Amino acid sequence: MKTLSVPYFYIIIISLIACQSTSDHDSPAMKDSINIHPEITIDEIRTSLENKEYSISQLTQFYLNRIEAIDKNGPKLNAVLTINPDAMTIAQQLDEEMEQGQIRGPLHGIPVLLKDNIDTHDKMPCTAGAIPMKNSFPLKDSPLASQLRDAGAVILGKTNLSEWANFHSSFSSSGWSGLGGQTNNPYELSRNPCGSSAGSGVAVSANLCVIAIGTETNGSIVCPSNNNGIVGIKPTVGLISRSGIIPISFTQDTGGPMSRTVTDAAICLGTLTQEDPNDTKTTQEGRKPQKDYTPNPAVKDLSGKRIGYFKKPLNGNVRMTQIMDQTVKDFEALGATIIEIDHIMDDDVGNKSYEVLLYEFKDGLNKYFESLGENGAVKSLEDLIEQTFSDDTEMQYFDHELLKISQSKGDLNDKEYQEALAFIMNKSRKEGIDKVMNEHNLDAIITPTGSPAWKTDLTNGDNFGGIFSSSPAAISGYPSITLPMGQMDGLPVNVSIFGRAWTEAELIQIAYCYEQKTQHRFSPTYKP
């Protein structure tokens, strides 16, 4: 079998809409129109609900109408794969609870979309964007979905994604799935949203929801956050349970919130940190979860902070260097001391990580398919390969060779896997991020998240523009947060802030201070 280079796979105007409901849940109040501005926050919604400016049902119907108008018609973003048929019923129940003074949690009534590789036990399938999975209905909620419900979220539906979280072919277009087609960037529709959490990133940016949940193995939260000009948090692996999330890698996978502000992402993150006995990463020694990651608004600057600047990912890009130079000045103006660093980990770590993922993808998928029971639409990775390669739509653009390469691997007892795993854990952690941060006494590291969105190309696949910065945090399993730092030709670009394990709260506070000073987030214009 041919040798494949390591792809960056795992990343791999509109008027406000009146809520004129046509559902069976109509009431006179429901027919009143409401206006929701495109940058609305959780706190603003909470205030409006408390003041009875509108109900949760009205809010939910607004977003369902907006998805229909913008995602399915209008610009046709193609970000939402499935609508939850029970969304209005859930909203009505939450309205009733609120009337009785019962607030489930910090997301009570907040409309949320989930990436369609996250199990929900309802009328929605969980597909990973793959045609063979179109009728795959999980037997129970994932812990992530269950915690969102407990916090009061209204799950509006599931978002499109790069099929199998972009771990399927030797080349591909991020945001494409056989089941959902290509997701489009809301800033310029011909541009790519990045992936694999493409639909989640687009949906948040276009205000098709308030919060979306993405998942990342390497870049799949931070890259679509970059291309769509939003905030994304990739937490330490083990902070959020991965049970019931269609896997790539036990070592690197994690879910995480995507939003338009640092505070909203932090609010959501705090609702998702329960231990899960079925995911040993959430019970590991030294785990430090919090229930509240909301940044302190009284902290206005970064005085005393030592922040590393990892410049290498710029790769000589002159225009991106200019934007990062200004970002560094902004951090310094906030009181931070900036220390340039030129190295975190060797290239061999990425190659070994790829080997780890091939083994863990096979193991994890087979276990996931087994969890679906006798009625599962796919029985094994071998069965998936057979169904995929016999489907003309699945094979129209991309080769799906990674499925076959993964199938050719042995089990997790193989020496090749064990040695590769030990190598990446040591080189990315003790001799990687930990070493660099200890040597320079750093509180965090900043780096450009990525280039501006490239033109979508289903013939040649992705063109990332040469900036790849997600790997140190992704391979180590350490936390990273990305947020807007500027724009190039009307396209957003982000800065990433990452650091040691379990330092989400500190990174969020740093990101918040930078966000409040710069306010770089801007709404998309749906340019053709």
Extended beta strands in 279-350, E state: 306-310, 337-341
Phi-psi region of 335 (alpha: psi -120 to 50; beta: other; left: phi over 0): left
Amino acid letter at 335? G
Q: Residue 267 — φ and ψ, nearest 5°? A: -60, -45
The CATH number that domain 29-518 falls under is 3.90.1300.10
> Which residues are known to be catalytic?
115, 196, 220
Between CA 365 and CA 46 the distance in angstroms is 39
The helix/strand/coil state of 241 is coil
Between CA 245 and CA 128 the distance in angstroms is 9
Between CA 378 and CA 73 the distance in angstroms is 32
User: Is the bond leading into 200 cis (omega within 30 degrees of zero)?
Assistant: no
Please give the structure tokens belonging to residue 525. 């214009």
- pTM given for the model: 0.94
Between CA 345 and CA 283 the distance in angstroms is 27
The helix/strand/coil state of 508 is helix
Residue by residue, pLDDT tens for the chain (528 residues) are 333 333 333 333 223 333 333 333 333 233 447 989 999 999 999 999 999 999 999 999 999 999 999 999 999 999 999 999 999 999 999 999 999 999 999 999 999 999 999 999 999 999 999 999 999 999 999 999 999 999 999 999 999 999 999 999 999 999 999 999 999 999 999 999 999 999 999 999 999 999 999 999 999 999 999 999 999 999 999 999 999 999 999 999 999 999 999 999 999 999 999 999 999 999 999 999 999 999 999 999 999 999 999 999 999 999 999 999 999 999 999 999 999 999 999 989 999 999 999 999 999 999 999 999 999 999 999 999 999 999 999 999 999 999 999 999 999 999 999 999 999 999 999 999 999 999 999 999 999 999 999 999 999 999 998 898 999 999 999 999 999 999 999 999 999 999 999 999 999 999 999 999 999 999 999 999
**Taking a C-beta distance cutoff of 8 angstroms, is the pair 339, 440 a contact?**
yes
Is 25 buried (19+), middle (13-18) or exposed (0-12) by CB count in 10 A?
middle
- Nearest residue to 467 via CA among 328, 306, 324, 283: 324
What Rg, from alpha-carbon coordinates, does the chain have?
22
